[in-house]
């Protein structure tokens, strides 16, 4: 039995997230159906993260097991024949048996985009949150800096998937302005449900003057979701970088 790692990109607009669900179309279900046609047997995909409905992935890693002998270099071409235009596999590798797309991932980066202009741009529909009031990136960065480090992030998670711990380590939270586009890059060893979007919403609250950046450590310590900022819309979020190291396989994709 071979263990195959897939490297893909997708536009999440038409999907109810990654994870297979009973009554909603998801990226995993679509990919599993395509892989079953290529391999000739049912396929279970393990993904590197449970992206929410409407969230995109500029990079994404999934793995599956198969006894098919199709050459690894042919797998992306074969899968793309059966995939819709909003999902594309661009590489495949045979990896050791122990490799697991989520368990072997040591760091992830999500990037949130805000189109910060008085006039909307239709080319950013489903790619960025349109926010017409000017946001000061200096204040945004001051707020973002408060999240860096190891903390209990219960205050910036939504009720959803049960987890053993709400403690995570944020390696960086960088805010960059490119003209009217604001980019919020958040790298952590793992993310809670809606964590990246709530962290971004809290930084926006600081820029709006609804809280001070220096309030954020207290908000995290108290752990009350209502004290932090809102969960910003899903369409502005995309997975952008992944780091892997399980002792046998180490790589970085962006």
Strand partners, 243: 107, 252
CA dihedral over 234, 172, 142, 149, signed as positive or negative: positive
Residue 234, Cβ neighbours under 10 Å: how many?
Answer: 20
Choice among 52, 86, 136, 180 that is catalytic: 52
d(C-alpha 213, C-alpha 190), whole Å: 23
Contacts of 225 (CB under 8 A, 6+ apart): 154, 155, 156, 157, 158, 198
Residue 204, sorted as left (phi over 0), alpha (psi -120 to 50) or beta, turns out to be alpha
Q: Find residue 61's DSSP bridge partners.
A: 7
What DSSP state is assigned to residue 172? E
Q: Which of 220, 126, 222 is nearest to 173 (CA)?
A: 220
Structure tokens at 23: 């009554």
**Helix H segments across 40-110?**
75-82
Active site residue 136: no
Query: Would you name the residues annotated as active-site residues?
Result: 52
């Amino acid at each position: 039995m071979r263990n195959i790692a897939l490297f893909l990109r997708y536009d999440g607009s038409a999907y109810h997230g990654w994870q297979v669900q009973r009554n909603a179309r998801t990226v995993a279900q679509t990919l599993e159906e395509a892989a079953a046609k290529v391999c000739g047997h049912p396929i279970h995909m393990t993904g590197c993260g449970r992206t929410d409905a409407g969230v995109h992935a500029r990079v994404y890693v999934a793995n599956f097991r198969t006894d098919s002998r199709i050459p690894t270099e042919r797998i992306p071409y074969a899968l793309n024949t059966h995939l819709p235009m909003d999902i594309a596999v661009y590489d495949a590798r045979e990896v050791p048996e122990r490799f697991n797309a989520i368990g072997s991932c040591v760091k992830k980066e999500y990037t949130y985009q805000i189109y910060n202009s008085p006039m909307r741009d239709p080319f950013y529909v489903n790619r960025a949150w349109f926010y017409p009031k000017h946001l000061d990136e200096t204040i945004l960065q001051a707020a973002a800096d408060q999240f860096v480090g190891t903390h209990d992030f219960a205050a910036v998670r939504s009720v959803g998937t049960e987890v053993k711990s709400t403690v995570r380590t944020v390696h960086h939270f960088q805010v960059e302005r490119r003209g009217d586009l604001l980019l919020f890059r958040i790298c952590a060893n793992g993310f809670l449900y809606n964590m990246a979007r709530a962290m971004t919403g809290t930084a926006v609250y600081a820029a709006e003057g609804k809280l001070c950046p220096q309030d954020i450590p207290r908000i995290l310590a108290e752990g009350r979701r209502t004290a932090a900022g809102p969960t910003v819309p899903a369409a502005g979020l995309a997975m952008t970088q992944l780091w892997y190291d399980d002792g046998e396989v180490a790589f970085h994709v962006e």
